[in-house]
Chain A
């Protein structure tokens, strides 16, 4: 079974630029999560999708971050415009109910200069 795929693996941009990350979850997993992980910290949930609907985006900075999962499979996370404090690893995870065991992709390391 293929795992969660993410791209790109690394991205370096300047502040005020925009960037997009892509995630392909494990086949059949209805729930998809985007996390932000700052160095030395645990993951922070940004948004949770159930199929193509948003379950929770309470911690997503909506003035600059957006995410979509149009067909209930792949998802993209966008930052526009980026700030220095957005430098982090962005992790995508998926799960199939009811155990909620989340499987993670390798992450995208974003550096904002």
Chain B
């Protein structure tokens, strides 16, 4: 079936690294995405990775993809208060360009 799972909450100290995890079920997914949603705002695309890649780095963000285990992670280095948000993982199905979404992980930053 189609399912994307994420932990609901993650709490980290300011300055530490945050690692948000996601598991998906459809091995035919072509792209996997991370979106950020701040309170009262829409969804902001953070980064995406093509399914034939293992890793993608973009400034403080590192995405790791383990296709064998269907596991995706987002690492945020040097976490800041501005990183407080809900982070959504999504997978794209090549057949109809639709996204299957996780329920989101709320990142809480402790001072």
| Residues on A facing B (Cβ under 8 Å) | 4, 6, 31, 40-45, 48, 55-56, 91, 93, 95, 97, 99-107, 109
Taking a contact as CB atoms under 8 Å apart, the answer to whether A40 and B103 are in contact is: yes
Closest chain A residue to B99 by CB distance? A102
A-contact bits for B43-66, CB 8 A (1 contact / 0 none): 111001000000000000000000
Count A-B pairs with CB separation below 8 Å. 56
Q: A42-B102, A45-B98, A48-B98 are in contact. Are A101 and B42 (CB under 8 A)?
A: no
* Neighbour of B101 across the interface among A6, A40, A42, CB < 8 A: A42
Interface residues of B (CB under 8 A from A): 4, 31, 33, 35, 40-45, 48, 88, 90, 92, 96-99, 101-104
The answer to whether A100 and B43 touch across the interface, beta carbons within 8 angstroms, is no
Task: Count chain B CB atoms within 10 A of each CB in A4, A40, A41, A43 and give the residue with the most.
Answer: A43
On chain B, the residues within 8 Å of A40 by CB distance are: 103-104
